[in-house]
Amino acid sequence: MATEHHPITPRRVSFDWRETPLHWIPDEPTATHVINVLHLLLPAGERWFVKVFKEALPLVRDPELLKDVKGFMGQEATHSVQHSYVLDHLAHQKLDTGPYTRQVDFLFDVLLGERPPFGLPVSEREWLRFRLSVIAAVEQFTAVLGDWVLRADALDAARPDPVMLDLLRWHGAEEVEHRSVAFDMYQHCGGDEPGRYARRVLGMAITAPILTYLWGRGAAYLIRHDPRLAKRLRYTLRHHKRAVDKGLLPTWGELGAAIPRYLRRSYHPSQEGSLSRAVAYLAASPAASRGRAPGGAVAS
Ligand SMILES: [Fe+2]
Ligand SMILES: [Fe+2]
């Protein structure tokens, strides 16, 4: 369990996308679309987190963890919905993401659904534990990305659309806030050692390459289908690196280092990022402030 007891509560937020341009980081289409991949993956991905956690709820014997898990589910459900509104906005700007997101839906709903795919001979309990290990591994990256976006001063300097930056930082801050919950849930439900640790390693070994692949394909898809670019630009590692060098994207080193950290036997995600920075942002976030008045936080 986490050493700190920071309560995890979903917040009511609202974003007005009407003024957000397609290239919300001006003159930086590669950085814009690499970050936009979040909107492609998260609506289905975070909905899936909630579904898997719902399946696992009866296994939770610790009331403190149960509270955290319910707060986590509320936060992820809200993230999923808010990112799906961005997809509507992209469609409105003539960037249809349907062909890509249908594949993402297939991944989460069919390949990682309630039953193992292709009739794999895996017990119900093992399949659930495996999916919990995948969620814990994904949450390692969302915590790292969340902390990065809160620190990314170069993004502010690039004059981005303030609504998109607020969405990313509100979401990133909640990812830092709940960074330990999926890990604690996995440890709680993951059975005895050494199988539990081996499955944690397996979850990361599968998650890291698939996430990298989906991200690259997603960025390439968005750039290829962006009507303003009209196929004049391709997604390349050179363009990606240029955006990294400007501080508009996290470095490969920052992302890669999250893996060996996660694989340490003694690891706990409470050491990731800065909770105080996250909480400070959430107190100031325009979208979260709008949601606070009157009603306060959403009940979990
Ligand atoms: Fe999230
Ligand atoms: Fe999360």
| Ligand 2 midpoint to CA 25 (Å) | 24
Q: What is the pLDDT of residues 122-168, one digit of tens each?
A: 999 999 999 999 999 999 999 999 999 999 999 999 999 999 999 99
Q: What is the pLDDT of residues 291-300, one digit of tens each?
A: 776 554 443 3
| Ligand 1 midpoint to CA 166 (Å) | 14
**Which ligand neighbours the alpha carbon of 42 most closely?**
1
* 99/256 Cα distance (integer angstroms): 29
Counting other chains too, the contacts that 231-240 makes at CB distance below 8 Å and 24 or more residues apart are 233/29, 233/30, 235/30, 235/33, 235/34, 239/30, 240/30, 240/34
Tokens of 253: 């080193």
For residue 217, give every residue at least 6 positions away whose Cβ sits within 8 Å of its Cβ, in sequence order, or none. Answer: 100
| Ligand 2 midpoint to CA 227 (Å) | 31
Q: What are the residue boundaries of the structural domains of the chain, listed by start?
A: 29-291
Please give the pLDDT value at position 197. Answer: 98
Question: For residue 189, which phi and psi values (nearest 5 degrees)?
Answer: -100, -5
| Ligand 1 midpoint to CA 188 (Å) | 21
Contact by Cβ (8 Å): 144, 208: no
Q: Classify each residue of 52-76 as buried b or exposed e, where b means 16 or more C-beta atoms within 10 Å of its C-beta.
A: bbeebeeebeeeebebbbbbbbbbb
* 239/235 Cα distance (integer angstroms): 7
Put simply, whether the predicted model's pTM sits higher than 0.75 gets the answer yes
Q: pLDDT category, 29, cuts 50, 70, 90?
A: very high
| Ligand 1 midpoint to CA 70 (Å) | 14
Predicted confidence (pLDDT) at residue 3 exceeds the cutoff of 60: no
| Ligand 1 midpoint to CA 199 (Å) | 23
* 23/30 Cα distance (integer angstroms): 9
**Which ligand neighbours the alpha carbon of 38 most closely?**
1
**Which ligand neighbours the alpha carbon of 39 most closely?**
1
Q: What is the pLDDT of residues 226-243, one digit of tens each?
A: 999 988 999 999 999 999
| Ligand 2 midpoint to CA 140 (Å) | 9
Q: Please give the average per-residue pLDDT across 185-189, as a whole number.
A: 98
